[in-house]
Chains A and B, each alone.
Chain A
Amino acid sequence: MTFHLGYGTNGFANHRLDDALRIIADLGYTAVALTLDHNHLDPYADDMPIQVDHVASLLDRLGLRSVVETGARYLLDPTRKHYPTLVCDEPRGRIDFLRRAVRIAAGIGADCVSYWSGIRPSTVDESLAWQRMLDGVSAVLDEAEKHNVPLGLEPEPGMFVEHLSDALRLRDELGAPRLFGITLDVGHCVAVEPVDAATCIRSAADLLVNVQLDDMRTGVHEHLEFGEGELDLSATLAALSEVGYTGVAAVELPRHSHAAPVVAANAIAALRAALALDSEWVSTVDHPWLVEAEQRVRSEPASIASLFPAVGRKVGRAPLRPETDPQGLVHGTVDDLARIRLLTVLAEVLEPPSLATEIAQLYRYGDDAERRGVLRALAALPDAVVPTGLELVKDALRANDIRLVAAAMGSFAAQHLDDHNWRHGVLKCLFVGVPLAAVSDVDIRADAELLRMVGDYAEERKAAGRDVPVDAVTLLEARA
């Protein structure tokens, strides 16, 4: 599963909403955090329902996932920033606004509505503010239930609900309502949380409904571009993957509207670079090219023939675990993983006979990397293509390119290849130097005949005065 990189429209305050959405999509983002404001889908406009329909269809056409943000500065009160709030003396205006936001979110198909508490006025004591939060959030949750839209409470520096722990405590006191979620701004974690963003992500984990991405410095609530503050972006994104987050993670730079298109382009470049550091990113995060390629394969299956060879050039070729597996023989490479994903999509749209034909063609006309991609994908394909897959595996086992041999001996071979060919595959790995770690289920499938073959091979090596491969020794000793 994957999360979606987005950009916040509050960073495009000087753009028409339609223009902002198009620019964001064109840059390769697959999501948007939409801040309702007087010029961006105004909840108080007379033609609001028409605007909602318009935005819903535009988001659909652009393929953008969305969340609704409610942090506009002067939308409710033109003289006082962010007023009214949930904790001020007259919170009704805020509650009404948030309920409208819930309906708009339902109308545009957004993941959630994100909100904060507001600053506690000096005249309001803590217990009263807390009671107002409980009451206000409950009132908004009633509306949320009607439309099945989750709410994301965002801890905000300087506001009454400032820390993640405050938000979690509020949730507990409300009885952990189903639609009570958390919006986490990873920059805020740097500024005010006692632990880093990755740790906050892990403690919020399943409650996360929205994530805001920006850089910040300790103690200073100023939204900065990536690299200008102290955030470990790579570790933060990796933590999102790790907890299985599948929602929107949108860049939050509300004070950069003056240079929005450039800032947004720089941000996605930084995000891509940070993602590339996580060796398994391609399996957990949508690389923009791969997302587009998957969409194309879905709508036009024949496009696989031209997309398949281009994978390495587009997403890279690095081994997934370079420290222990520099050639990618055991765990494969980034392009292997991307090709598996493309073939998984292909398997969803093609009937088994056409799928089998296409797989055979991709292998037949594939270079070494494409053939590896096909071989590693076989285990993920439907049973109807097993006969074709077996032909391809046998072909690969006749090759002497060790990367093909390694890719052929994965879980598909363990499950489907006949004993004779499987034993010869294992022996070939020992011969050509493919680590047996690349062979699936050796422990389960190794039989007396294989051990005899490996034993003879070891004897032959010794007779020639040569070393016996460590993997062969290990296998023989384990079964001795």
Chain B
Amino acid sequence: MRIFDPHIHMTSRTTDDYERMFEAGVRALVEPAFWLGQPRTSVASFTDYFDSLIGWERFRAAQFGIRHHCTIALNPKEANDPRCREVLDVLPRYLAKDGVVAVGEVGYDSMTPEEDEVFARQLALAIEHELPALVHTPHRDKLAGTHRTLDVVKESGIAPGRVIVDHLNEPTVGVVAESGCWMGFSIYPDTKMDEQRMVAILREYGTDRMIVNSAADWGRSDPLKTYKTGLAMLDAGFSESDVDKVLWQNPVDFYGQSDRLALDELPGFAPSAETFAGNSVLRGGGST
């Protein structure tokens, strides 16, 4: 099984996860910029985080044979904090980078006027930088939030085919399917979606514009949920090629619109004993 995890927060994960993901077939991923659990208090901590997404984490993933890409944005939750909002001014520098494949995660958390403004402004940035947009739908009041999201997307003028609306579930999938946007589903151990419900949605709506992710982060989550959804699809009678479409081709087609995906095998990659034996992940500081 060939897997592209289109939404996973590797910053929060360990090298064990990278190893297991590679074993399960993950060869490429997208790490969206989001909040870190603990609120930030200044622009500087955003830029350090972004630097890590376009540098260190890309390098770390490469050690395990996985191509790392990211999306960059001010997330909806912190859009409400005036100390963070100034990060909008430095976004253009990051949106020009290699491996930055979308503006995201943008969207709503509590649907405040500040969130409205920041969401619209970042969709404009996506258009300006010719990037797709990754839109997060709120955990609370999800259906109303999804409707409002689609209205803002429509007003912005960005083509629906360049937008993915993420964290969908049974009540919200229908309106997004009609909108022409791509549909993202986060498969979680006990919140959001699970594998069986996902299979049911794929049966009802088909596999076009359908994207499945693990959205694994620092909370209770599982970076192999993409793989497990693939297994559930096969069990339910979907073909290998259906699975490949949902777990590889669809995310590649969507993020490929950025023209900044790198999917060739990593040069000289072989999980070498040298790298893994003495040191963990080139921590350098002396784990002898």
- Using a CB–CB distance below 8 Å, which chain A residues touch chain B? 305-306, 309-310, 312-313, 319, 322, 326-327, 365, 367-371, 399-403, 428, 431-433, 460-461, 464, 466-467
Distance to closest chain A CB from B17 (angstroms): 18
Q: List 8 additional contacts besides A367-B98, A400-B59, A433-B275; criterion CB under 8 Å.
A: A368-B56, A371-B55, A400-B282, A401-B56, A401-B59, A461-B278, A466-B277, A466-B288
In the complex, the answer to whether A309 meets B267 with C-beta atoms within 8 Å is no
In the complex, the answer to whether A319 meets B267 with C-beta atoms within 8 Å is yes
Determine which of A370, A402, A431, A433 lies in contact with B286 in the assembled complex, contact meaning CB atoms within 8 Å. Answer: A431
Determine which of B97, B267, B278, B286 lies in contact with A367 in the assembled complex, contact meaning CB atoms within 8 Å. Answer: B97
> Is B274 engaged at the interface, CB distance under 8 Å to the other chain?
yes
In the complex, the answer to whether A368 meets B54 with C-beta atoms within 8 Å is yes
Q: In the docked arrangement, what's the CA distance between A369 and B259, Å? A: 18
Q: In the docked arrangement, what's the CA distance between A431 and B55, Å? A: 20
Given A306-B96, A312-B98, A367-B99, also A433-B274 (CB < 8 A) = yes
Determine which of B59, B268, B277, B279 lies in contact with A403 in the assembled complex, contact meaning CB atoms within 8 Å. Answer: B59
Given A309-B96, A310-B96, also A368-B282 (CB < 8 A) = no
Q: In the docked arrangement, what's the CA distance between A431 and B283, Å? A: 9
> Is B220 engaged at the interface, CB distance under 8 Å to the other chain?
no
> Is B2 engaged at the interface, CB distance under 8 Å to the other chain?
no
Q: What residues of A have a CB within 8 angstroms of the CB of B97 in the complex?
A: 309, 367, 370
| Secondary structure dominating the interface of A | helix
Distance to closest chain A CB from B89 (angstroms): 12
In the complex, the answer to whether A313 meets B259 with C-beta atoms within 8 Å is yes
Q: In the docked arrangement, what's the CA distance between A467 and B56, Å? A: 27
Q: In the docked arrangement, what's the CA distance between A474 and B51, Å? A: 36
Q: In the docked arrangement, what's the CA distance between A368 and B59, Å? A: 8
Q: In the docked arrangement, what's the CA distance between A461 and B278, Å? A: 9
Q: Which of A368, A369, A432, A467 has the most CB of B within 10 A?
A: A368
Distance to closest chain B CB from A475 (angstroms): 18
Q: What residues of B have a CB within 8 angstroms of the CB of A460 in the complex?
A: 286, 288
Given A326-B267, A368-B58, A401-B56, also A466-B98 (CB < 8 A) = no
In the complex, the answer to whether A365 meets B93 with C-beta atoms within 8 Å is yes
Given A309-B96, A313-B260, also A433-B288 (CB < 8 A) = no
Q: What residues of A have a CB within 8 angstroms of the CB of B260 in the complex?
A: 313
In the complex, the answer to whether A327 meets B267 with C-beta atoms within 8 Å is yes
Q: In the docked arrangement, what's the CA distance between A367 and B72, Å? A: 13
Q: What residues of B have a CB within 8 angstroms of the CB of A370 in the complex?
A: 97
Q: In the docked arrangement, what's the CA distance between A326 and B51, Å? A: 25
Q: Which of B58, B98, B286 has the most CB of A within 10 A?
A: B98
Distance to closest chain B CB from A406 (angstroms): 12
Q: What residues of B have a CB within 8 angstroms of the CB of A428 in the complex?
A: 284
Q: What residues of B have a CB within 8 angstroms of the CB of A319 in the complex?
A: 267
Q: Which of A305, A309, A370, A371 has the most CB of B within 10 A?
A: A309
Q: Which residue of B lies closest to A464 (CB)?
A: B288
Encode contact with A along B48-62: 1 for CB under 8 Å, 0 otherwise.
000100111011000
Q: In the docked arrangement, what's the CA distance between A370 and B98, Å? A: 10
Q: In the docked arrangement, what's the CA distance between A368 and B260, Å? A: 15
Q: Which residue of A lies closest to B70 (CB)?
A: A367
Distance to closest chain A CB from B157 (angstroms): 23
Q: In the docked arrangement, what's the CA distance between A364 and B36, Å? A: 22
Distance to closest chain A CB from B268 (angstroms): 4
Distance to closest chain B CB from A162 (angstroms): 48
Distance to closest chain A CB from B263 (angstroms): 13
Given A312-B98, A367-B55, A401-B55, also A432-B268 (CB < 8 A) = no
Distance to closest chain A CB from B253 (angstroms): 19
Scan residues 18-73 of chain B and give those whose CB is less than 8 A from a CB of chain A.
Answer: 47, 51, 54-56, 58-59
Distance to closest chain B CB from A312 (angstroms): 5
Q: In the docked arrangement, what's the CA distance between A326 and B98, Å? A: 20
Determine which of A310, A433, A467 lies in contact with B282 in the assembled complex, contact meaning CB atoms within 8 Å. Answer: A433
Given A309-B98, A310-B96, also A466-B278 (CB < 8 A) = yes
Q: What residues of A have a CB within 8 angstroms of the CB of B288 in the complex?
A: 460-461, 464, 466
Q: In the docked arrangement, what's the CA distance between A369 and B56, Å? A: 11
Q: In the docked arrangement, what's the CA distance between A402 and B99, Å? A: 19
Q: In the docked arrangement, what's the CA distance between A431 and B279, Å? A: 9
Q: In the docked arrangement, what's the CA distance between A431 and B286, Å? A: 7
Q: Which residue of A lies closest to B260 (CB)?
A: A313
Q: What residues of B have a CB within 8 angstroms of the CB of A368 in the complex?
A: 54-56, 58-59
Distance to closest chain A CB from B99 (angstroms): 7
Q: In the docked arrangement, what's the CA distance between A433 and B97, Å? A: 27
Distance to closest chain A CB from B237 (angstroms): 41
Encode contact with A along B237-267: 1 for CB under 8 Å, 0 otherwise.
0000000000000000000000110000001
Q: What residues of A have a CB within 8 angstroms of the CB of B58 in the complex?
A: 367-368
Q: What residues of B have a CB within 8 angstroms of the CB of A432 in the complex?
A: 279, 282, 284
Q: In the docked arrangement, what's the CA distance between A133 and B87, Å? A: 74
Q: In the docked arrangement, what's the CA distance between A467 and B157, Å? A: 60
In the complex, the answer to whether B284 meets A313 with C-beta atoms within 8 Å is no
Q: In the docked arrangement, what's the CA distance between A17 and B9, Å? A: 58
Task: Please give me the 9 A-B residue pairs with the lowest Cβ-Cβ distance, nearest first.
Answer: A326-B268, A367-B54, A368-B55, A401-B59, A309-B96, A365-B93, A400-B284, A464-B288, A432-B284
